[in-house]
Each structure stands twice: as structure tokens, then as C-alpha cells.
Amino acid sequence: MPSRPLFTPLCSRFNEVKVRELISYHADLIGRGNIDILEPIRSIDDIDAKASYIESSNVILALACTGGVSRLIIKLSEFNKPMIIISHPKQNSLASALHSAIILNKKDKIFTLHHNLSKDNVNELRKKIKVAEAISELINNKILLIVPSKNWLIQEHYDLGNLERKLNLELVLMELKEFYDLYERTKPHSGLLAKYINAAKFEVSDNDIKESSKVFSAIRSILEKTKAIAYGIRCFPFILKTGVTPCLAISHSIDLGIVGSCEADLGALVTMLLAKNITGQPVFMGNIEDLDGNDLVLAHCTISTKLADTYELVRHFETGESVSVRGSLKRGGEVTIIRLSNDFNKIYIDTGKIVKGEAWSDEFCRTQLEIRLSHDASILLEEPIASHLVLVKGKWNKEFEILSRYLKLIMI
């Protein structure tokens, strides 16, 4: 069975009636069908006795039934699960929750607080749980980067230590030379071929699709071997050597729920993973092509066909080689734009609507989107966060604001 949030009532003394009432009230509001529930915990020994249950959960919902439970909350944090500390207005509950929070902040733990749960704010708690589960899906996993060399990764100035501290993500590196060799030995991917061979295409041959499908076959084999959950590939050196683009591979893998980032952009990859886990939707990464007031233009040579309303296959923009995906989105659709910085200390979040969703220029990448943001886009010039931004359909700013609190990210 998949992991679930674990509702963990904590008390320093056992007042049978009051504690049971608190547990019942909170469990009913959260929804008993959505959580596993432990018996009240009063000591470190109780936690040790329930260690296997706690370890198998994905999120800890620690209800401070009484005061004097800080040591229990801190002990629960050692399981390194995202945690929500739930407090109420009586029995010194909030004081104990705040005391714990100060210490957990010093320990860089992933947690947030929720006080005085009620029908009016239970949806806010459910959002916190949803975001915590999205983070939990990443923790202790591997991601693959296919890059020219380890030195290239250093030159990009990603703060890998900070990424490990926040999410304990392990990087699996493969040098492009090794990937070239694997690609040459790999067969076309029948699933990708069947999907794209009859798509609308311009100047793209069936052989272009066949050769591009081998990129997905090669990447899929590495993911299976390494147990990595996502990947990024440094596209241009590969295209220049082989004349083949990874654009179809990235489009197809995102359709399948496997996040891939262009240009081996690790910051974009982590952002895309979190966005996909939070929203359950396919994601798009694009170059920032232009901005003016609240208007932002993003473009890239691939897009998930499950995200695009329509798509067609065309030549790659910069090289004129192989195949890329030109997708379109309907005008007026709501979107959320997000991006974590490469040091994983900051986050950009905004919402907007599609103003132009169909390609209008032959002077930048094939999928082209103009978005009217809720706020002035000039902040991206004043405080540059990245050259790529991530887009997902719908309005998700509240969830990403919650994410910023969990991961202690500064919102720009």
C-alpha cells in the first residue's frame, strides 16, 4: 500500500475524556479515510515502540494535545518526514508547538504549523498535507543528469549541498560521451513511434522520429538501471554530435509522468518535480524570451502533449535539425509560473493568463507562450532567478507559498 499521512496525538498526561475528544475532533475534520491514526503518545518509549508505523508514513501530523510535548515533536522529526505540528487554543498546546518550531528551524527540518483547526481552515490544512506529500515523494530519491562533465556542473554553480540538506536528493551523473555510445547501440522506442508517427508534421520525416525515439529508449534504460526518478540532459552538445534532438524524449517522458529537463537545468528539474507532485499535472519549462510590464514570453522546443491543447512536429529552432514539438495553449487559460533558484534558497511564484498560446515568430523556440502575470515581471530583471521558468495549468500559488515555508525559501 502507498504511504499515507500519520496522525500522531501527543500528550504529557493522559486526560482520557479531553484528549480523546481532541483526537476525535481533529481526525474527523481532517478525514479519517485519508490518514492513519496512532494511539496517544506520551513518551519517547512510545515513539520507539511505534517506529515502524512512523517510518512507513509519508507525512507526520503531530497533534499537540497538551503542553510539555516539545521533546516528543523533536523526536518525531528525527524520522525526517515532512511534519505538520497541529495546535489548539487550550492546555498550553500552542506554546509547546512554538517551542518545538524554534528548535526544528535550527535543525533545518521540513515542517509547518497549523493552529486552531476548524471547518473554516481545514482546506488550508489539506493543502499543507498535499504539499508535504509532494515533498515526501522526492526525499531520498535519485535524479539523473547527462552532462559534458562533472566540471560543467560545478561551473553552473548549483548549491548541491543545500539541495541535499533540503531534500536529500542524490545526483547520478552520466557524461555525454557515455550517453552517445549508449544511444548508438539503442533501438527505436515502439511506444514513442506509435504515438508520434501520425502526428501533424512539417519538414520532419518518419526517420527523424525514429532516430529521436532512440534518445528516449536510452534514457529509459538508464533510469531503470539507476532507479532515478527524473532526468536532465545537456541538449546542444548531443544535437551537434548526432544531429538528433532530445525534444521528443522529453515530451513523451513528461506525458508518462517522468520529468525531464532541457539543458540539464537542475534548478528547473527540481522545480518541475515539485510542481508535478503538487498539482498532479504535466509541466513545461521555457526560456524567458521577453518581458514587459505584466507580460512574459516563454518559449522552448518541446512541450508535453498532455499539457498542450494541440501540437505538431517541426524542425528544432537553433539547429534546423531533427524534430521538436510546437504546442499551443488556449487563450485565457489560467497558469502558475514558478522557479527555484540554483542555490535552492529562493522561489519565484506568480499566476497569470495565456494571452497568446500559438507560435507567432520564427526567431525563437517552437512552443511560444505569452502570459499576462498578476504582478510586474520586471522583478525577474531586478532579481534574476534563472533563464528558465516552469509553467503548470491552473492557479496554484497558495500551494507553492506553502512549499516555500516548508523548504525555507525566500519568495522574490
The per-residue pLDDT for range 69-124, each reduced to its tens digit, is 999 999 999 999 999 999 999 999 999 999 999 999 999 999 999 999 999 999 99
* Whether the Cβ atoms of residue 366 and residue 314 lie closer than 8 Å to each other: yes
Select from 377, 201, 379 the least CA-distant residue to 298: 377
Taking residues 164-179, report their average pLDDT: 95
Statement to judge: residues 190 and 276 lie in one domain: yes
pLDDT of residue 17: 62
Statement to judge: residues 318 and 395 lie in one domain: yes
pLDDT of residue 1: 56
Domains: count for the chain: 2
Pair type for strands 334-340 and 170-175: unpaired
- Angstrom distance (rounded) from CA 62 to CA 128: 13
Which SS3 state, helix, strand or coil, does residue 64 take? strand
Taking residues 194-207, report their average pLDDT: 90
pLDDT of residue 16: 59
Check pLDDT > 80 for residue 379: yes
Give the mean pLDDT of the chain.
95
Statement to judge: residues 167 and 131 lie in one domain: no
The x, y and z cell numbers of residue 121, run together, are 481552515
72's CB contacts (< 8 A; 6+ apart) are 10, 41, 42, 43, 44, 47, 62
pTM to 2 decimal places: 0.96
Statement to judge: residues 204 and 313 lie in one domain: yes
pLDDT of residue 15: 58
Statement to judge: residues 385 and 258 lie in one domain: yes
Per-residue confidence band for 319, with pLDDT thresholds at 50, 70 and 90: confident
Check pLDDT > 90 for residue 14: no
CA–chain centroid gap for 124, Å, is 19
- Angstrom distance (rounded) from CA 18 to CA 26: 12
Q: Which residues pair with 83 in a beta bridge?
A: 60, 111
pLDDT of residue 316: 87
* Whether the Cβ atoms of residue 209 and residue 323 lie closer than 8 Å to each other: yes
Residue the block writes with cell 504515438: 195
Calculate the CA dihedral of residues 31, 36, 41, 43 and round it to 10 degrees.
Answer: -140
Q: Which of 116, 138, 160 is the last residue of a domain?
A: 138
pLDDT of residue 201: 86
Check pLDDT > 80 for residue 389: yes
Statement to judge: residues 147 and 107 lie in one domain: no
The x, y and z cell numbers of residue 46, run together, are 512510545
Statement to judge: residues 318 and 370 lie in one domain: yes
pLDDT of residue 202: 87
The region of weakest confidence among 2-16, 195-209, 300-314 is 2-16
Per-residue confidence band for 387, with pLDDT thresholds at 50, 70 and 90: very high
For residue 346, the domain's CATH number is 3.20.14
* Whether the Cβ atoms of residue 291 and residue 352 lie closer than 8 Å to each other: no
Check pLDDT > 70 for residue 270: yes
Q: Which of 87, 116, 138 is the last residue of a domain?
A: 138
The x, y and z cell numbers of residue 249, run together, are 524524449
Taking residues 134-160, report their average pLDDT: 94
- Angstrom distance (rounded) from CA 270 to CA 234: 16
Statement to judge: residues 103 and 147 lie in one domain: no
Statement to judge: residues 127 and 258 lie in one domain: no
Give residue 85's domain range.
Answer: 5-138
Statement to judge: residues 251 and 353 lie in one domain: yes
Distances 77 to 74, 307, 344, 369 between C-alpha atoms, Å = 5, 37, 22, 43
Distances 313 to 122, 331, 336 between C-alpha atoms, Å = 45, 21, 26
pLDDT of residue 12: 87
pLDDT per residue as tens digits for the range 19-32: 889 999 999 999 99
Check pLDDT > 60 for residue 57: yes
Long-range contacts of 59-62 (CB under 8 A, 24+ apart): 59/5, 59/6, 59/83, 59/84, 59/129, 59/132, 59/133, 59/136, 60/5, 60/6, 60/8, 60/84, 61/5, 61/6, 61/7, 61/8, 61/30, 61/35, 61/86, 61/129, 62/8, 62/10, 62/86
Statement to judge: residues 327 and 360 lie in one domain: yes
pLDDT of residue 153: 87
The region of weakest confidence among 67-76, 146-155, 268-277, 377-386 is 146-155
Check pLDDT > 90 for residue 214: yes
CB count, 10 Å around CB of 207?
9
pLDDT of residue 184: 95
Alpha helix ranges (H) inside 186-265? 190-196, 206-226, 235-242, 247-255
Statement to judge: residues 79 and 212 lie in one domain: no
For residue 52, the domain's CATH number is 3.40.50.10940
Check pLDDT > 80 for residue 254: yes
Taking residues 135-140, report their average pLDDT: 96
pLDDT of residue 318: 84
Phi, psi of 190 (to 5 degrees): -65, -35
Taking residues 313-342, report their average pLDDT: 94
Taking residues 145-161, report their average pLDDT: 92
Calculate the CA dihedral of residues 127, 142, 237, 316 and round it to 10 degrees.
Answer: -40
Q: Which of 111, 138, 165 is the last residue of a domain?
A: 138
Per-residue confidence band for 168, with pLDDT thresholds at 50, 70 and 90: very high
